[in-house]
Amino acid sequence: MTYTLITGASSGIGKEFARVFAQKGHHLILVARRIHLLEHLKKELLKDNNIKIELFPVDLANPSSAKQLFETITARGLLVDHLINNAGVGSWGPFVEADWQEQLRLIQLNITTLTELTYLFARQMLTYHRGTILNISSTASFGGGPYMALYYASKAYVTTFSEALAEELKDSPINIQVLCPGPTRTGFEKAAGMKHAKMFTWVPTAMPQAVAQAGYDLMVSNRKVKYHSANTHVFNLTARLGPRSLWRKAAAIINGIPRKK
Ligand SMILES: NC(=O)c1ccc[n+]([C@@H]2O[C@H](COP(=O)([O-])OP(=O)(O)OC[C@H]3O[C@@H](n4cnc5c(N)ncnc54)[C@H](OP(=O)(O)O)[C@@H]3O)[C@@H](O)[C@H]2O)c1
């Protein structure tokens, strides 16, 4: 029996991933901090789907979390053949005014834990000759993003790391993929403390259900990278064809200049 592991499954895109994969009959391992939300989701999914669901309440911004999670899953004999590294947070405001511990937690969650989970599960998948890893990046990965500098940079890492690994492993039995959604209606804006940003009002937003479906479609294909929706294709083209200064100036406006306290 194999499982699909989804990080950040308690809300937003991750929760919708859980719904899509459950409908397709996948057994699930769901990870997030808010266990009550995971339990609620488990109850909902078990009503309509004859699958197994394991819950792991884990703070993935804890430096030892990836190794501990991997070891616990392995010790319980649960085999992961689909891994969705979805958990991530934003950070909004001038970088030099931000709380350093919060920045470190973002780096740990968005970059280090994602990388370590990819490392650990990719190695295991190679020994079983099967598996797919989907990393959730963002259109924010296409260029610098003033007032969300660390978040954009963390997603640039996710995209280029995943693309490189996909190429390294292209002749192996496992597949590495990356999905780049644009602004999506989830708990992200609130979690990032974005109070005056125009990202979710000026830019057309996607629904998390559509993003998760795009991620599922990508995982059952052999493709490596997917930009969800027409908007994200436009962002990608703009970033590639225009001067980099144009992207970062537009991003500064969309991210919104935080008001002085
Ligand atoms: N929404 C957008 O506009 C957008 C656009 C492009 C890409 N993305 C990416 O999509 C992914 C999902 O975000 P979302 O939009 O669905 O936001 P969301 O609704 O805020 O969901 C974030 C998920 O990550 C989990 N998470 C956050 N910190 C965690 C931690 N320390 N340990 C474990 N889990 C943690 C949260 O669960 P708990 O709080 O329960 O731990 C939650 O399940 C992120 O990687 C984000 O960067 C979002």
Instruction: Note the pLDDT tens digit of each residue in 124-157.
Output: 999 999 999 999 999 999 999 999 999 999 999 9
Residue 135 lies in a domain: no
Q: Which residues contact 60 (CB under 8 A, 6 or more apart)?
A: 7, 8, 31, 66, 69, 87, 108, 109, 113
Q: How far is the CA of 119 from the centre of ligand 1 (A)?
A: 21
In a domain, 150, yes or no: no
Tens digit of each residue's pLDDT (9 = 90 or more) over 156-169: 999 999 999 999 99
Do the Cβ atoms of 224 and 176 come closer than 8 Å?
yes
Q: What is the pLDDT of residue 144?
A: 96
**Ligand 1 center to residue 243 CA distance, Å?**
30
Q: Is 206 helix (H, G, I), strand (E, B) or coil?
A: strand
Q: Point out the residues that are catalytic.
A: 151
Radius of gyration of the chain (CA): 18
What's the CA gap between 65 and 87, in Å, rounded? 13
In a domain, 61, yes or no: yes
Residue 214 lies in a domain: yes
- Residue 258 pLDDT more than 70? no
Instruction: Convert the pLDDT of each residue in 13-29 to its tens digit.
Output: 999 999 999 999 999 99
Which residue's C-alpha comes closest to atom 43 of ligand 1?
8
Task: Give the distance between the most distant pair of CA atoms in the chain.
Answer: 55
As given in the structure block, the two tokens for residue 32 are 């997030």
pLDDT bracket for residue 260 (50, 70, 90): low
> Contact 82/7 with Cβ under 8 angstroms?
no
pLDDT number for residue 57: 98
d(CA 171, ligand 1 centre) in Å: 31
Number of domains forming the structure of the chain: 1
- pLDDT confidence band for 259 (50 / 70 / 90): low
Of ligand 1's listed atoms, the one at least distance from the Cα of 189 is 1
- CATH, residue 50: 3.40.50.720
Task: Tell me the sheet residues that pair with 29.
Answer: 5, 54
- pLDDT digits 0-9 by tens, 25-41: 999 999 999 999 999 99
Residues with CB under 6 A from ligand 1: 8-14, 32-34, 37, 58-61, 86-89, 109, 136, 138, 181, 183-184, 186-188, 191, 208
| In-domain check, residue 204 | yes
pLDDT at 230 (0 to 100): 75
- Say if 73 falls within a structural domain: yes
Residue 61 contacts residue 35 (beta carbons within 8 Å): no
User: Quick one: pLDDT at residue 199?
Assistant: 79
Cα of 208 vs centre of ligand 1, distance in Å, is 11
Residue pointed to by tokens 């699958």? 51
Is 9 domain-assigned? yes
Q: pTM score, two decimals? A: 0.96
Which residues span the domain enclosing 214? 2-98+112-128+156-224+242-255
Closest atom, ligand 1, to C-alpha of 33: 41
Q: ∠ CA(242), CA(248), CA(250), 5° rounding?
A: 85
- In the predicted model, is pLDDT for residue 229 greater than 80? no
